[in-house]
């Protein structure tokens, strides 16, 4: 618990907007906040006051003029980064990746453990031990941390705190938030990992200041998430934006979900690796080498990645045609795939062919997000509980 036990003084939609704006785009002057939020300057001053008093905000040391010809300089408002710390954990099929961040999402402690056992109770025990380690890394971390975010792939109902189905972990109906709350005593928020990544991009990444954007992740699975009107789209059952299981192929491969022609069944990294292995006869090839082989112009590998890029482009176009975002952030955990210019060009070509009308203006941004970025995004999800505590 926070030593002074105070709830966050974010108590209404006005203070939520002001706090979020300063958190994601500060330091920013009261005048600029008023302009950006549509609130009056008096209202901004009023909602900032309790946030300043509770130590979440401070006046920046840089002074800025309030406007042309204005006499009195005003200090921009900024977040006090060390006011509170947050723990974020990403659960994968093989690892637990944990970080502790401050209010600027700067990672101050990090830890990766192999998963010993996929049973929910065993993972919760291991996760609780990891949380304890991260919070004990510095004395102030434990005193000033109370919120934990956990990102897990699959069908995750954030509101109910329930994992309906996670294919990689082979979980069905696990009340994960309750189990972790009991094990850690913290305020726990669980979220689908791609949705968590979208929250991280929105607040601290390639989606800052963008009202409508999509995130598409390329890796072991293909995922997507949407932010529309500055809000993450969750859907009635917590499942929305499952781009990986959108049919973009014909009758070809049957997906692990049982569907046909799914994007994930064409472009998931393990399937690409398998295809390159078969084509080259090198059974020991891993995904990084498959990417490098394609990048170096080996014809079979090149053709396999080109085919995948076209499927990704069609998938991104489907997402964009349906929701009309300003930007789609395409994230890969493999750095070579992010640096693979021909792959990007093919994604763009195929996207452009399928994009309807002005949707073609949607910007495609390729970013590298290693596993730690997903844990950091989970910490950002934890940070969102400041708005509801
Ligand atoms: Zn599928």
pLDDT band at 1 (very low <50, low <70, confident <90, very high): very low
Task: State the Cα–Cα distance between residues 28 and 32, nearest whole angstrom.
Answer: 6
Ligand 1 centre and the CA of 261: distance in Å?
A: 8
Ligand 1 centre and the CA of 156: distance in Å?
A: 17
Ligand 1 centre and the CA of 269: distance in Å?
A: 14
pLDDT band at 63 (very low <50, low <70, confident <90, very high): low
Strand ranges inside the chain, DSSP E: 57-59, 77-79, 85-91, 95-101, 107-114, 145-152, 155-157, 162-166, 171-174, 187-192, 213-218, 222-228, 231-232, 327-332, 363-368
Architecture of domain 13-79: Orthogonal Bundle (1.10)
Q: How far is CA 365 from CA 140, 268, 317, 378, in A?
A: 37, 19, 14, 21
CB 256 within 8 A of CB 166: no
Task: State the Cα–Cα distance between residues 320 and 43, nearest whole angstrom.
Answer: 37
Q: pLDDT tens digits, residue range 112-160?
A: 999 989 999 999 999 999 999 999 999 999 999 999 999 999 899 999 9
Ligand 1 centre and the CA of 308: distance in Å?
A: 15
By C-alpha distance, which of 234, 222, 229, 135 is closest to 191?
Answer: 234
Architecture of domain 209-369: 2-Layer Sandwich (3.30)
Q: pLDDT tens digits, residue range 317-346?
A: 999 999 999 999 999 999 999 999 999 999
Task: State the Cα–Cα distance between residues 215 and 75, nearest whole angstrom.
Answer: 35
Ligand 1 centre and the CA of 244: distance in Å?
A: 6
Coil, strand, or helix at residue 343? helix
CATH class of 83-199+373-387: alpha beta
Task: State the Cα–Cα distance between residues 272 and 341, nearest whole angstrom.
Answer: 18
Q: CA neighbours within 13 Å on the CB side: how many for 36?
A: 19
Ligand 1 centre and the CA of 384: distance in Å?
A: 31
Domain ranges of the chain: 13-79, 83-199+373-387, 209-369
What radius of gyration do the chain's Cα atoms show?
22
Task: State the Cα–Cα distance between residues 88 and 148, nearest whole angstrom.
Answer: 6
Any idea of the CA torsion for 96, 97, 102, 108, to the nearest 10 degrees?
120
- Give the phi and the psi of residue 18 in degrees, each rounded to 5: -65, -50
pLDDT band at 254 (very low <50, low <70, confident <90, very high): confident
Ligand 1 centre and the CA of 70: distance in Å?
A: 60
Task: State the Cα–Cα distance between residues 148 and 378, nearest whole angstrom.
Answer: 8
Task: State the Cα–Cα distance between residues 172 and 93, nearest whole angstrom.
Answer: 15
pLDDT band at 243 (very low <50, low <70, confident <90, very high): confident
Q: pLDDT tens digits, residue range 339-374?
A: 999 999 999 999 999 999 999 999 999 999 999 999
Ligand 1 centre and the CA of 185: distance in Å?
A: 37
pLDDT of residue 11: 80
Q: How far is CA 4 from CA 54, 130, 145, 318, 324, in A?
A: 10, 25, 12, 49, 45
Q: Say whether 209-369 and 13-79 share the same fold.
A: no
pLDDT of residue 73: 58
């Amino acid at each position: 618990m926070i030593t002074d036990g105070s709830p966050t003084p974010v108590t209404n939609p006005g203070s939520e907007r002001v706090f979020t704006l300063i958190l994601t785009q500060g330091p920013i002057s009261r005048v600029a906040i008023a302009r950006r939020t549509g609130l009056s300057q008096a209202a901004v001053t009023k909602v900032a006051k309790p946030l300043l008093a509770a130590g979440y905000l401070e006046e920046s040391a840089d002074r800025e003029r309030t406007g042309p010809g204005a006499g009195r300089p005003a200090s921009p408002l900024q977040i006090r980064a060390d006011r509170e710390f947050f723990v974020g954990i990403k659960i994968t099929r093989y690892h637990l990746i944990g970080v502790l961040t401050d209010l600027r999402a700067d990672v101050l402690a990090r830890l990766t453990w192999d998963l010993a056992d996929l049973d929910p109770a065993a993972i919760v025990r291991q996760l609780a031990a990891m949380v304890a380690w991260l919070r004990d890394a510095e004395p102030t971390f434990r005193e000033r941390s109370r919120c934990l975010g956990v990102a897990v792939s699959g069908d995750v109902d954030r509101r109910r705190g329930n994992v309906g189905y996670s294919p990689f972990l082979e979980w069905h109906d696990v009340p994960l938030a309750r189990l972790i709350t009991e094990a850690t005593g913290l305020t726990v928020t669980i979220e689908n990992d791609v949705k968590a990544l979208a929250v991280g991009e929105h607040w601290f990444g390639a989606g800052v200041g963008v009202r409508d954007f999509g995130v598409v992740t390329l890796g072991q699975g293909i995922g997507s998430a949407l932010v529309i009107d500055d809000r993450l789209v969750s859907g009635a059952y917590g499942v929305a934006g499952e781009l990986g299981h959108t049919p973009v192929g014909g009758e070809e491969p049957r997906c692990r979900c049982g569907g046909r022609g799914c994007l994930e069944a064409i472009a998931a990294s393990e399937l690409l690796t398998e295809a390159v292995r078969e084509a080259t006869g090198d059974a020991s090839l891993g995904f990084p080498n498959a990417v490098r082989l394609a990048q170096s112009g080996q014809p079979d590998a090149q053709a396999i990645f080109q085919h995948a890029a076209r499927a990704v482009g069609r998938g991104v176009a489907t997402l964009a045609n349906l929701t009309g975002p300003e930007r789609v952030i395409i994230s890969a955990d493999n750095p070579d795939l992010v640096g693979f210019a021909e792959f990007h060009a093919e994604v763009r070509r195929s996207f452009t062919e399928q994009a309807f009308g002005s949707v073609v203006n949607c910007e495609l941004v390729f970013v590298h997000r290693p596993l730690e970025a997903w844990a950091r995004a989970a910490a950002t999800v934890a940070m969102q509980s400041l708005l509801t505590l």
